[in-house]
């Protein structure tokens, strides 16, 4: 059986649960166990990847909200399109993994102590949450979820009153909600991996910070979108 077939069969999740293994390789020096720190990353970098297996391996990229006070680790809520077959697994029985990714970047050995040999690496911070998503059909609850999502991300621009659902008629909004499947997932296990060079000596850590400060920034979404529009001749 090839790797994709193995994952899609559900055997991967069975093996993971049976062995109580991490969903991601985490050396001890990179493991984060402080729930507050992990939840902070999830709250700030809320655009996540929802991964399920069986009958097929599938990943949906979506914004997710965190309810911190529910259960041991919190509860995640979000929605997918009704045309997305992944929602068929939102029955409270099938396991899923939701991955939140913070900042990441290539790290050059030139930033380290020149007296020591070193190789390039990639620094990043991620949080993995596992659980069993459960869809819900309560329209009022779905409307509240969407209001929370809009409120959170509209506030990113510093103006909470910039746009709200109050600008649209209820009949239109209710029709739009028929095209989504909202879900919630209580977090059963949570894993934090912050690979940020914290295991290196003080001089190397200072070099990483200085190198990152001077490094050329990645293209932002506006720049990437503008190029794609030009490629499609949409200007």
Structural domains of the chain sorted by starting position, each given as residue range(s) with its CATH number in brackets:
3-231 (2.30.110.10)
pLDDT of residue 162: 79
Q: Which of 9-13, 15-19, 91-95 is the least confident region?
A: 15-19
In the predicted model, what is the mean pLDDT of residues 126-153? 96
CB of 78 within 8 A of CB of 65?
A: yes
Q: Which of 7-21, 112-126, 130-144, 159-173 is the least confident region?
A: 7-21
35-67 pLDDT, tens digit per residue, is: 999 999 999 999 999 999 988 899 999 999 999
3-class secondary structure, 210: helix
User: Which sign does the torsion angle of CA 137, 141, 144, 148 carry?
Assistant: negative
Q: Tell me the pTM.
A: 0.88
Residue whose C-alpha is closest to residue 146's, from 176, 117, 189, 105: 176
Residue whose C-alpha is closest to residue 184's, from 134, 129, 130: 134
Token pair belonging to 37? 């720190």
Residues 6 or more apart whose CB falls under 8 angstroms from that of 35 comprise 73, 190
Token pair belonging to 29? 């020096």
pLDDT of residue 163: 87
Q: Which of 21-30, 33-42, 176-185, 210-219 is the least confident region?
A: 21-30
pLDDT of residue 114: 77
Residues 6 or more apart whose CB falls under 8 angstroms from that of 145 comprise 65, 77, 78, 79, 182
CB atoms within 10 A of CB 175: 10
Residue whose C-alpha is closest to residue 64's, from 4, 164, 188, 149: 149
Scored b (16 or more CB within 10 A) or e, 215-225 reads: eeeeeeeeeee
């Amino acid at each position: 059986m090839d790797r994709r077939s193995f994952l899609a069969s559900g055997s991967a999740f069975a093996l993971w649960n049976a062995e109580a293994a991490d969903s991601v390789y985490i050396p001890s020096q990179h493991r984060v166990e402080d729930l507050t720190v992990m939840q902070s990353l999830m709250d700030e970098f809320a655009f996540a990847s929802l991964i399920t297996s069986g009958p097929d391996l599938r990943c949906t990229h979506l914004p997710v909200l965190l309810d911190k006070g529910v259960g041991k680790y919190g509860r995640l809520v979000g929605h997918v399109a009704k045309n997305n077959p992944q929602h068929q697994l939102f029955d409270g029985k099938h396991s899923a993994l939701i991955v939140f990714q913070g900042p990441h970047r290539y790290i050059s050995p030139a930033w380290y102590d020149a007296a020591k040999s070193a190789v390039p690496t990639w620094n990043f911070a991620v949080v993995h949450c596992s659980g069993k998503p459960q869809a819900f059909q309560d329209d009022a609850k779905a409307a509240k979820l969407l209001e929370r999502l809009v409120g959170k991300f509209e506030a990113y621009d510093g103006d909470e009153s910039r746009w709200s659902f109050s600008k649209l008629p209820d009949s239109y909004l209710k029709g739009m909600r028929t095209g989504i499947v909202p879900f919630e997932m209580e977090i059963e296990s949570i894993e934090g991996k912050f690979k940020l060079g914290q295991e290196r000596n003080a001089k190397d850590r200072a070099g990483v910070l200085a190198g990152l400060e001077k490094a050329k920034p990645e293209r932002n979404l506006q720049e990437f979108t503008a190029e794609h529009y030009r490629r499609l001749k949409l200007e």
